[in-house]
């Protein structure tokens, strides 16, 4: 065969190959949903679903239970269980030991003062809000989120939107690469952002704020959704374990919301179910305004319902107010599910619902019913501790700060006394365990390196970050809270009433069913990553939930 003939057939082969080879498509790849929706409910106990089930609507929680997958034994695998660490752990797939969000606030040794979890003095408010309310960002978050990884995978073409009343509940889920994170400003009743994310609010957010929904929701009294006699799952409406709303003398319905706000302060909406409703409203506006799930790449919408936490703190888990808040939240969730099913189709959306922590029963109520419980007075404890240190070391200035059930020590003072830090930590831990209400105490040396065998100790260790946590961590007795007043509740402990939360999955590739096998809260992000075939967040320590991903 001549050389020219070889060239001819070679060129012909290349031509035919070029004609038959398909150009790769850039559209959304098969095997991925168009949209991921994460819903976090602030302070939701696991048992609220069964407790209020008979009064839920057919299209809200009941729909998720019947058509979705229920992880019935989901727990936080660290403490303290607070809002900031909870949201960070859900979306990073790891614990505070690695993502660094050790509380809603913590003490910074370099500045000798506490800092707020999302404080950022380098940024400015975007939107019609107070100057301070917008000086927020995720800079303190050390790890990437599942949204960050989704954005990186798509070369920043995926959209990630996060929304909440609380700034930290909007900012931490959205992560560093959020397309837009929005939170509520009490002074104006608007949703705002910061220059970390954008230079100006998009048109759809301005249009939403122009409706002035906060004022409209607060223009009428809060009455129960159902006749109050139906609320048999709750204690009597008038009982001594509930707090009071502004201007009220009894904690009873109806609550006169029009008398509790002014046009310069819409903050009271946070402590009503309408705080959740306005969050639902802006979430639906985001779906439309951003055309989420309508592009070539999977998008993510993170929604956090914060009002449940405010109502729970004030009224406690046995109140008619918290039950009514959840019945109304059920209707809000039903509206979101109905919108998603209608506009995307169930098989095109992957959705999960969980909580950032749960809550304890009101200790005063437990004590009145002859259960072990109590209130820990931190100021009194520190006074006793300082007196003890003065006797032991002739110095009462060793303690720099106390927060998150942790004691921060003044390392410089201890060195000047020619003392060994570990010895001082051991002494304080030993003293603490003699104090009423404290079950145990762990030193920084233990938490940073030792293998701790008990589950509570392991949870505290998972929440310990050597650069941001204190030197001695206290663990209270069961049902003991650090609160100043005997009404309402709080959270933060290693006990199941704080750590066990709901986890429901719905939509794309989710078969109906349930599992009672243990699931950690840090398993959510790697489960999503596995289903989307993308990398998990960069500090992820969780594992995919096999019952779902298989």
Active site amino acids = 83
What token pair was written down for 292? 């989420």
Cβ contacts of residue 296 below 8 Å, gap of 6+?
26, 27, 28, 157
Q: Is residue 406 helix, strand or coil?
A: strand
Q: Is residue 24 helix, strand or coil?
A: coil
Q: Please check whether residue 301 is in contact with residue 286, taking contact to mean a CB–CB distance below 8 angstroms.
A: yes
Q: Please check whether residue 305 is in contact with residue 329, taking contact to mean a CB–CB distance below 8 angstroms.
A: yes
**Hey, what's the torsion of the CAs at 93, 97, 101, 106, to 10 degrees?**
170
Q: Please check whether residue 88 is in contact with residue 172, taking contact to mean a CB–CB distance below 8 angstroms.
A: yes
46, 51, 59, 83: which is closest to 323 by C-alpha? 51
Orientation angle between helical segments 307-315 and 274-289, nearest 10 degrees: 170
272, 105, 136: which is closest to 198 by C-alpha? 136
Q: Distance between CA atoms of 305 and 316, rounded to whole angstroms?
A: 17
- CB count in 10 Å sphere of residue 217: 21
Q: Distance between CA atoms of 325 and 319, rounded to whole angstroms?
A: 10
Q: For residue 182, which phi and psi values (nearest 5 degrees)? A: -135, 135
Q: Please check whether residue 40 is in contact with residue 525, taking contact to mean a CB–CB distance below 8 angstroms.
A: no
What token pair was written down for 370? 């002859």
Burial of 62 (0-12, 13-18, 19+ CB in 10 A): middle
- Which residues are registered as beta bridge partners of 401? 408
């Amino acid at each position: 065969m001549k050389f020219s003939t070889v060239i001819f057939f070679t060129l012909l082969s290349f031509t035919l190959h070029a004609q038959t080879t398909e150009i790769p498509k850039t559209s959304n790849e098969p095997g991925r949903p168009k949209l991921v929706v994460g819903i976090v409910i602030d302070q939701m106990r696991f048992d609220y679903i069964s407790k209020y089930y008979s009064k839920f609507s057919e299209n809200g929680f009941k729909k998720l239970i019947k058509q979705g997958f229920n992880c019935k034994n989901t727990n936080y695998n660290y403490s303290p269980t607070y809002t900031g660490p909870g949201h960070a752990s859900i979306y990073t797939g790891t614990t505070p030991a690695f993502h660094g969000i050790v509380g809603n606030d913590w003490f910074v040794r370099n500045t000798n003062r506490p800092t707020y979890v999302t404080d950022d003095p380098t940024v400015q408010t975007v939107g019609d809000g107070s100057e301070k309310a917008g000086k927020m960002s995720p800079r303190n978050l050390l790890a990437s989120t599942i949204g960050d990884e989704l954005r990186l995978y798509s070369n920043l073409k995926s959209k990630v939107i996060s929304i909440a009343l609380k700034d930290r509940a909007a900012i931490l889920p959205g992560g560093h690469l959020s397309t837009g994170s929005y939170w509520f400003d009490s002074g104006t009743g608007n949703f705002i952002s910061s220059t970390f994310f954008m230079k100006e609010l998009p048109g759809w957010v301005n249009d939403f704020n122009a409706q002035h929904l906060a004022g409209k929701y607060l223009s009428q009294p809060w009455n129960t959704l159902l006749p109050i006699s139906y609320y048999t799952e709750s204690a009597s409406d008038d009982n001594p374990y509930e707090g009071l709303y502004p201007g009220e003398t009894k904690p009873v319905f109806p609550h006169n919301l029009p008398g509790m706000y002014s046009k310069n302060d819409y903050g009271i909406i946070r402590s009503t179910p309408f705080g959740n409703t306005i969050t639902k409203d802006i979430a639906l506006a985001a779906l439309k305004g951003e055309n989420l799930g309508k592009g070539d790449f999977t998008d993510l919408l993170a929604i956090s319902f914060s009002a449940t936490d405010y109502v729970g703190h004030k009224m406690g888990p046995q109140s008619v107010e918290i039950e009514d808040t959840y019945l109304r939240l059920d209707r809000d969730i039903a509206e979101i599910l109905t919108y998603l099913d209608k506009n995307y189709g169930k098989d095109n959306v992957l959705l999960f619902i969980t909580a950032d922590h749960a809550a304890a029963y009101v200790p005063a109520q437990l004590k009145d019913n002859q259960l072990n419980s109590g209130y820990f007075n931190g100021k009194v404890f520190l006074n006793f501790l300082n007196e003890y240190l003065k006797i032991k070391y002739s110095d009462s200035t060793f303690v720099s700060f106390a927060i998150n059930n942790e004691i921060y020590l003044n390392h410089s003072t201890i060195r000047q006394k020619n003392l060994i830090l570990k010895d001082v930590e051991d002494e304080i831990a030993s003293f603490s365990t003699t104090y009423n209400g404290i079950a145990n105490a762990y030193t920084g040396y233990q938490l940073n390196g030792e293998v701790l065998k008990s589950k509570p100790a392991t949870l505290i260790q998972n929440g310990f970050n050597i650069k941001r946590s204190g030197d001695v961590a206290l663990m209270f007795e069961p049902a003991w809270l650090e609160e100043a007043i005997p009404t309402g509740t709080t959270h933060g402990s290693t006990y199941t009433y704080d750590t066990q939360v709901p986890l429901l999955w719905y939509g794309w590739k989710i078969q109906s069913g349930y599992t009672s096998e243990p699931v950690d809260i840090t398993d959510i992000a790697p489960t999503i990553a596995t289903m989307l075939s993308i990398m998990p967040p960069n500090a992820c320590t969780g594992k995919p939930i096999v019952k779902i991903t298989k």
